[in-house]
Amino acid sequence: MFKYILKRLGIAVVTIWLIATLTFFLMNMVPGGPFLSEKAVSPAALAALEAKYGLDKPLLEQYVTYIGDALHGDFGDSLKQRGRTVTSIIASKFPVSARIGGLAVLAAFCVGVPLGCISAMNRGKLGDSIIIVLATCGIAVPSFVICTVLMYTFGVRLGWLPTLGLNSWKHYIMPVTALAFYPTAYITRLMRSSMLDVLGQDYMRTAKAKGVSQFASLFKHALRNAILPVVTYLGPLLAYTVTGSFIVEKIFTIPGLGGEFIGSITNRDYTVIMGTTIFLATLMILMNVLVDIVYKLVDPRIKLK
Amino acid sequence: MRKRVISMLLAAVMTVSMVSGMAVTAAAEETEGKQLSVQIGPDPETIDPALNSAVDGGNMLLHAFECLLTIDQNGQIAPGQAETWEQSEDGLTWTFHLRDGLKWSDGSDLTANDFVYSWKRVCDPMVAAPYAETVLGMVEGFDEAIGGNLDALQVSAPDDKTLVVKLSAPCTYFESLAAFATLSPVQQATVEANGDAWAIAPETYISNGPFYVTEWVPGSHIIMSKNPYYWNADAIKLGSIKFNLIEDSNAAYTAYQNGEVLMIKDVPTEEIPSLEGSDEFFVDPIIGTYYISYNTQIEPFNDPLVRKALNLAIDREYVANTIMQGTYSPATNFMGPGWVDTDGSSFMDNANGGEPYMSATADIEGALAALEEAGYPNGEGLPVLHYSTNDAGYHKPVAEYLQSAWAEIGVTLEIEIVEWSSFTPMRRNGEYEIARNGWVGDYADPSNMLDLLYSTNGNNDGKFNNPDYDAAMDIARSTIDPEERSAALHQAEDIMMNEYACIPLAYYNDFWMQSPKIEGAWHSAYGYWHFMYADIAD
């Protein structure tokens, strides 16, 4: 397994390099630049700015410099948020997003898996139908609607929850709920279908014939097999969720990383675009490796090569 | 085993959230006195006076710093760090006398040399201040300074309390520039020790204004506390101001309704109809005009008659009051309310003999007549025209309105929506036919906006080129006689309005919600909210 992880990490490095290269050239092909404003900056000031950040050099040279610096862990200064380095932006904003995202994934997992099981076991009955309807809604309703409904209901009408910032545990409830909505629904559906699949297997019938209690057969035999697709989904989900959601952060005024992804692109803040992209890519790949390892633990039949 | 699996999974999930650290945002530092909680925009890109070019940052600088001069509640120049000042007879030498006992927010002394350093820093190519040329371009030695020889800039401090500035050409509005945030003093030792990063941490963000930054959580809030070392600290009633960096207007509105903030700048446009008439909803003009640029170098827009026809066909009253829900005012001139004439009166009131240049409503007959005279009776023979804009605020509804308004005179318009970052360079390079444009003044001298149509100006997106216009602006630039200067500026506006150089559409307003609990705050035509002397009623 150790060899396998090494191999995967090797591939990961190449993947990240490819992503970085593609992003670098694509973003430079898009018209516009970081020093634009409605009011024209004087040519002298523009030239000085470009010289300061090395944007006056040929693109290939910029690329080589960037990759070289990045290899040394230097992701450069933000071109828009003057005085901040890309590393410091990610270091200050990622923890916030990760806390909310991590809690959301945890909630989605803890709620989605049992709901999926209940639904599968009650297939065709009322409970199943209710869960399916709810899950479909959870997938179909966009997060800004959920945010707005939550905010209006609990923030404005009932006045139970604060709507601004992250100062206490109460502040976490709405953003975490909003963020957990979609993955909960998805996990429920995933769990339901894979559970139904497993419940139809011969070994389940054998277990039942042996007189194993329903509870034991479900948890000991069915769940471990049925949970595999959920685990697969959990990796990328976690990577996406902990890097923040633009919409949820914007609506609840949360200083997370999600806004930086969108903001850096609209601002053409090249170094931040690169930094956040590489960060997300790295996280995504690591999560996938982690998922593979968890796979092996859940299902010893799986061989990692 | 089953438990182990579940716990492994949970561990995997939780590690990530743990690794990221559970350091919850530090609770707001306890400050003495009342805290005013407001929302005047999202996270500023920078609050370094030399680097800022945005109104969001400007609002912060206004509270944290004070320039030599300031703008008072009536829009007039007032003493700031300088108590008195004078200019030489030829208008080329300005001398500012600082107040006694000025201090930085860290308690150390502030002298005229701090201004010398700060102004030279604005010229430093390594700082690359976007407004360097605007605020110091007329100072002697600027050209050398911007090239790197900072000491060439003719700004000196004969003693700790005197600042002398030598200009290469007269600048009658230099007082406005001396009150411009870019020229705020910054502390040399701190800036040199920390580089650009001095302006991101409260510990190193030393300022000299009525407040100083005590906390900044990017994307969340900035807290400024009363600066006890400010010369007029006794007049400050608040203990601190919390600027909530809310980006979403609905979130801001919710926070306002909950009482979490007492003033919000970003009001959701869909709420406006229900807010009109409320004593908590305010609309106040700022110096600036929403206008439409013609690419005057290409056919058919090189013909003033075509420009006239398109201009006259627009019902500005409808645009401002219906499409823009009264958050703008119909523009009948290029220069709207708030611009200050050379004698301190309203520039707009003195323009065109006190009469508006155009009617606020549409003049379809006049438009058709102009089209016919241009050789396009009822729009026949005109190609399909193209209007470019980005999609934000009212830009798209305005574009759709133009489409229908111009259809009435037989003009077919196609709308091209372009992403903002691509739109700006496209417009600047003249790669368009008709494009949305707008200008909000940096200072209230009319030259700030009239310069837009000067043939070589970098913001002359319409490439308007009229020798008479340039000549009038040249006079305005070189004379030190206020009356002659005023006449030249008005002549310039006459020329561009008679030539229909562009389409002034609506004057900008700021609109906001403010609790009646806030006392002693005011909004200026620069788009700034002055909370420094505010108080909260119990």
Condensed to tens digits (0 to 9), the pLDDT of residues B51-61 reads: 888 888 999 99
Strands B240-244 and B35-39 turn out to be parallel
| Chain B CA closest to residue A288 | B12
> What residues have CB less than 8 Å from B318, skipping those under 6 apart?
B361, B362, B401
User: Which of A29, A42, A225, A273 would best serve as a mutation to test chain B binding (most B beta carbons within 10 A)?
Assistant: A42
Q: Answer whether A153 touches B (CB < 8 Å).
A: no
Minimum distance, in Å, between the CA of residue B441 and any CA atom of chain A:
10
Distance, in Å, from the CA atom of B371 to the CA atom of B309, rounded to the nearest integer, reads 6
Range 191-210 of A in CB contact (< 8 A) with B: none
Assigned token pair, A48: 């000085």
Residue B289's nearest CA partner among B496, B449, B401 is B449
Q: Among A33, A41, A81, select the one facing B46 at the smallest CB separation.
A: A81
Q: Among A165, A231, A267, select the one facing B221 at the smallest CB separation.
A: A165
Structural Rg of chain B based on CA atoms: 26
Q: Among B14, B20, B419, select the one facing A95 at the smallest CB separation.
A: B20
Residues of A in contact with B30 (CB under 8 A): none
Q: Which residue has the tokens 């438009």?
A: B367
Q: Among B23, B125, B424, select the one facing A95 at the smallest CB separation.
A: B23
B12–A290: do the CB atoms touch at under 8 Å?
yes
Return the DSSP state at B368: H
- Please write the tens of the pLDDT for every residue from A45-81: 788 888 888 888 999 999 999 999 999 989 998 988 8
Beta bridge partners of B439: B289
Judge whether B163 and B116 are in contact, CB under 8 Å: yes
A93–B198: do the CB atoms touch at under 8 Å?
no
Minimum distance, in Å, between the CA of residue A279 and any CA atom of chain B:
13
Neighbours of B86 (CB within 10 A): 9
Minimum distance, in Å, between the CA of residue B442 and any CA atom of chain A:
10
Distance, in Å, from the CA atom of B528 to the CA atom of B338, rounded to the nearest integer, reads 13
Judge whether B94 and B78 are in contact, CB under 8 Å: no
Q: Among A48, A152, A238, select the one facing B13 at the smallest CB separation.
A: A238
Strands B518-519 and B535-536 turn out to be antiparallel
A223–B2: do the CB atoms touch at under 8 Å?
yes
Residue A73's nearest CA partner among A298, A275, A294, A286 is A275
B132–A45: do the CB atoms touch at under 8 Å?
yes
Residue B139 dihedral angles phi and psi, to the nearest 5°? -80, 140
B258–A297: do the CB atoms touch at under 8 Å?
no
B17–A98: do the CB atoms touch at under 8 Å?
yes
A52–B16: do the CB atoms touch at under 8 Å?
no
Q: Which residue has the tokens 């200009």?
A: B167
Q: Answer whether A242 touches B (CB < 8 Å).
A: yes
Distance, in Å, from the CA atom of B47 to the CA atom of B202, rounded to the nearest integer, reads 11
- What's residue A305's pLDDT? 59
Q: Answer whether A268 touches B (CB < 8 Å).
A: yes
B8–A294: do the CB atoms touch at under 8 Å?
yes
DSSP characters over B277-336: T-TTEEEEEEEEEEEEEE-TTSTTTTSHHHHHHHHHT--HHHIIIIITTTSSEE-SSSS-
User: Which of A100, A158, A164 would best serve as a mutation to test chain B binding (most B beta carbons within 10 A)?
Assistant: A164
Range 2-41 of A in CB contact (< 8 A) with B: 30-33, 35-41
Residues of B in contact with A224 (CB under 8 A): 2, 5
B424–A37: do the CB atoms touch at under 8 Å?
yes
Which residue blocks in B88-226 are alpha helix, DSSP H?
A: 112-123, 132-136, 142-146, 174-178, 188-194
- Give the whole-number percent of chain A exceeding pLDDT 70: 99
Per residue of chain B (538 residues), give pLDDT as tens: 444 444 544 444 444 333 333 333 333 344 478 999 999 988 888 899 998 888 889 999 999 999 999 999 988 899 999 999 999 998 899 999 999 999 999 999 999 999 999 999 999 888 888 888 889 989 999 999 988 899 999 999 999 999 999 999 888 899 999 999 999 999 999 999 998 889 999 999 999 999 999 999 888 899 999 999 999 999 999 999 999 999 888 889 999 998 889 999 999 988 998 998 899 999 999 999 999 999 999 999 999 999 999 999 999 999 999 999 989 999 999 999 999 999 889 999 999 989 999 999 999 999 999 999 999 999 999 999 999 999 888 999 999 999 999 999 999 999 999 988 788 888 988 999 999 999 999 888 999 999 999 998 888 999 999 999 999 999 998 888 899 999 999 999 999 999 999 999 999 999 999 999 999 999 999 999 999 999 999 8
- pTM listed for this prediction: 0.84
A33–B428: do the CB atoms touch at under 8 Å?
no
Residue A113 or A165, more confident:
A113
Residues of A in contact with B197 (CB under 8 A): 83-84
What are the C-alpha distances in Å from A103 to residues A291, B188, B337?
A: 18, 45, 52
Q: Among A35, A242, A253, select the one facing B220 at the smallest CB separation.
A: A253
Strands B240-244 and B529-530 turn out to be unpaired
Distance, in Å, from the CA atom of B267 to the CA atom of B264, rounded to the nearest integer, reads 7
Distance, in Å, from the CA atom of A62 to the CA atom of A65, rounded to the nearest integer, reads 5
Assigned token pair, A126: 């009322």
Distance, in Å, from the CA atom of B24 to the CA atom of B448, rounded to the nearest integer, reads 46
Region of A289 (left: φ > 0; alpha: ψ -120 to 50; beta: rest) is: alpha
User: Which of A30, A35, A39, A272 would best serve as a mutation to test chain B binding (most B beta carbons within 10 A)?
Assistant: A39
Neighbours of A209 (CB within 10 A): 8
Beta bridge partners of B156: B164
